[in-house]
Amino acid sequence: GKKLGYTFNHRNLHNVSLGQGQEVVAEQTLDLAAQEGHWVILQNIHLVARWLSCLEKKLEQLSEGSHRDFRVFVSAEPAPCPESHIIPQGILENSIKITSEAPTGMHANLHKALDNFSQDTLEMCSQEKEFRSILFALCYFHAVVAERRKFGPQGWNRSYPFSTGDLTISVNVLYNYLQAGSKVPYDDLRYLVGEIMYGGHITDDWDRRLCKTYLEEFLKPEMLEGELCLAPGFPLPGNMDYNGYHQYIDDALPPESPYLYGLHPNAELGFLTQRSERLLRTVLELQPRDSSTGQGALGSQEEMVQALLEEMLEKLTDEFNMAELLAKVEERTPYAVVALQECERMNALTAEIRRSLAELELGLKGELTMSSDMETLHSSLLLGAVPESWLRRSYPSTASLASWFADLLARISQLEAWTRDFSLPSTLWLGGFFNPQSLLRAVMQTAARRNKWPLDRMALQCDVTKKSREDFASAPREGAYVHGLFMEGARWDAQAGTITDARLKELTPAMPVVFIKAVPDDKQDSRGLYPCPLYRTRQRGPTYVWTFNLKTKENPSKWVLAGVALLLQ
């Protein structure tokens, strides 16, 4: 106000929070402010959609003859969808629009987190050194967990609404603890912040482990001895004043990179690639459907789709004859049951593919009326996307149609080879199953029957070999060899037999063949092991399959922060 030449004090400001019948109060306040040259803030106008047309008329009336200093400010939450855009066009056209967007990058997020406090905050605790150090560490923690979501599933399996309220309440808890005792209760602080303040938002167990690991790295006794680095090249600052902390961020924080979050630089390549793919896919979907797509033999879109469906129908093999397969099985072992279940599910999928393609072929020839389902299938084939009706009977996949169909044929080939005599193949493609967990459980069931072990007290032991699938001629006497696994966030060093840092631009390096066998729970040694989650796709989250314990020479917390996981695709 001063910069614009206004005479302003708190008496000139009227704040009205809309909702619960405050519309009449708002109109009276506007009339008074227009006469006296006051400012009016109308908060939460998205809660009074029906009254907005009245507000538009009122503002139009007050635009003439009002005091020169009269101003109106309105605030609203962002609309979740276009249908919720309810602010009248007249208000939008005659106003200056300002949006408050979340800060991007660690630098902006860390400053924003620190902005929630002041010099008075830093001076309010009797244990000043401890309070300031832990407060800054909590600010960095808040900035990390808020900005890490940009890395997609490798950052967080799911998106969480972390807010500045979580940070300020955590600092209040810190203050209360330090005022009540002379020692810093690190365990209590980590629990309250990680399990309640921030952990209350978290619904995924692996995300909860990540949150706890951050706090274990940031809140520990070493932080008061000047030996703690919040990120490579960014040590925790000593005792400073409020402006000093802001200046320290500007001077000492390294440039924006995944290293600030404990991630490998490949994480940035991965999420930027996926964002680009989504953008290009959207552009492709916006292309007109009725124009010619080329000058060759496949000139029209119908000819392209016709050629594609004919090729797919030609390559698609016959369904498995379940009666013959059941007659072949001499003993219903756990492995044989898995094979039969996979064949049944494959039959359901291939039957739907064959039916829908044959129906669409008749529609393109004019022998059937094109239904909405056929139109949807036609559009999917044209865009190279897997049709929705196939996905419902399928398995999680992020592949394009061509890759998905080639993957399907490979799955069928594995089942055909396995069901010739139902002997366990030398190595199994774990990603080629509708239900990979069923195979892993079959390994445990077979060992339990052979050794008469209780099934609920068993676990899987994972030993990574140094060989590829071509090096194995027969299945092991116990357990199973599996191939087709990939690692994201790191790589496997076959010579050293441990997890190690990934090479730049190698986003998902392939794993050697893995030997899986069942052992009693009490025989497992967890020392020097990283519990690595196994997912079906890079979407992670609901595609979780199992946990494999992998050897590591580094502290397992390094791989937790790096989001290291095994993938089946």
**Residue found by looking up tokens 């990603």 in the block:** 431
CA 243/CA 389 separation, integer angstroms: 59
CATH architecture of 106-263: Orthogonal Bundle (1.10)
Q: What is the DSSP letter of 423?
A: P
Sequence spans of domains, the chain: 2-94, 106-263, 297-423, 425-568
Longest dimension (CA), the chain: 96
Instruction: Give the tens place of pLDDT for each residue, 513-525.
Output: 999 999 988 877 7
CA 15/CA 73 separation, integer angstroms: 9
Instruction: Give the tens place of pLDDT for each residue, 413-437.
Output: 999 999 988 888 999 999 999 999 9
Question: What is 2-94's CATH superfamily?
Answer: P-loop containing nucleotide triphosphate hydrolases (3.40.50.300)
CA 43/CA 446 separation, integer angstroms: 65
Interstrand relation of 529-535 and 544-551 (parallel, antiparallel or unpaired):
antiparallel
CATH number for 425-568 (one of 3.40.50.970, 3.30.70.580, 1.10.3210.10, 3.10.490.20): it is: 3.10.490.20
Q: Which fold has domain 297-423?
A: Substrate Binding Domain Of Dnak; Chain:A; Domain 2 (1.20.1270)
CB distance 238 to 226 below 8 Å: yes
Confidence at residue 338, expressed as pLDDT on a 0 to 100 scale: 93
Give per-10-residue mean pLDDT for the chain (569 aa).
Answer: 48 81 87 90 85 89 88 83 78 85 85 93 90 94 93 91 91 92 90 93 94 94 86 91 94 93 91 86 74 48 85 90 89 91 94 91 83 87 89 90 93 92 91 94 92 88 90 89 95 93 93 93 84 94 93 94 95
Confidence at residue 278, expressed as pLDDT on a 0 to 100 scale: 83
Q: Could you tell me which residues come within 8 angstroms of residue 371 by beta carbon, excluding any fewer than 6 positions away? A: 363
CA 193/CA 182 separation, integer angstroms: 20
- φ and ψ at 483, to 5 degrees? -130, 175
CA 529/CA 353 separation, integer angstroms: 43
Q: 3-state SS string over 50-90? A: HHHHHHHHHHHHHCCCCCCCCEEEECCCCCCCHHHCCCCHH
Nearest to 159 by CA among 169, 168, 143, 146: 146
Q: How far is CA 313 from the centre of its chain?
A: 36
CB distance 535 to 567 below 8 Å: yes
Same fold, 2-94 and 297-423: no
Confidence at residue 298, expressed as pLDDT on a 0 to 100 scale: 41
CA 481/CA 469 separation, integer angstroms: 9
